[in-house]
Structure formats: structure tokens, C-alpha cells
Amino acid sequence: MRQGSRRRFMAGVGSTALALRARSTAEAQAPPRASPSDAEGRRRRLAAAIREMNQAAGLGVAPEDLDGAEAYAVGALLEAEAKLRTLSLDPGLDLPVVFRARRRS
């Protein structure tokens, strides 16, 4: 595999240690489980926040699309909280911005 494309595609691969470190902290940071009534309350608050944010931040989601966006985004935000935000992932995993050299013609 050539160095340049390997860097582009596989940056960070080989960093099994990072993966293992991320794994070891995953369970430790899991949030306390909410009761069903708390969960339903949070869903309602999030749904209301999404509508408020759409208006206050001028996100421009049309009224007829808000029900769908809300139904989907609420579920995704809660799942991200449980499964993604609990992970401690090393900043060394961030991909670099790559500039391509251009010759003057």
C-alpha cells in the first residue's frame, strides 16, 4: 500500500491501543439508567427543545417536516447520549486536513 493513500484512508489504523483504551473507558462512563417515566419526560422536553431551536436558531425546517424530524432526531439524540457520548475517544484519532500541492502552470 502506498504511503499517501494509506495515510488518507487508514489514518489511525494500527492504533489498536487507542481502540483498546477507548473500550476500557466506555462502560465506566455509562450514565445512570432513567426510569420509563423519566425517559418519556425527557423525550417530551427534547421534542419541545427541537421545535424551539428550529425557531430561535432559524434552522428553517418547515412546519410540515417538524413532526418527522422531531420523531427521528429525539431517538437519535438519546441513543447518541447512551452509546456515543459515553465513549472516550483519543484526539489522536482526528483526521488531518490534507492540502494538495498545486504547481503553477
Binding site for other proteins (CB under 8 A): 1-2, 4-5, 8-16, 18-19, 22-23, 26, 50, 53-54, 59-62, 65-66, 68-73, 75-77, 79-80, 83-85, 87, 89-90, 93-95, 100
> What is the closest distance, in whole angstroms, from the C-beta atom of residue 57 to other proteins in the complex?
9
> What is the closest distance, in whole angstroms, from the C-beta atom of residue 70 to other proteins in the complex?
8
Buried b (16+ CB within 10 A) or exposed e, 13-26: eeeeebeeeeeeee
Count of Cβ atoms closer than 10 Å to residue 7 Cβ: 14
d(CA 70, CA 48): 9
> What is the closest distance, in whole angstroms, from the C-beta atom of residue 37 to other proteins in the complex?
20
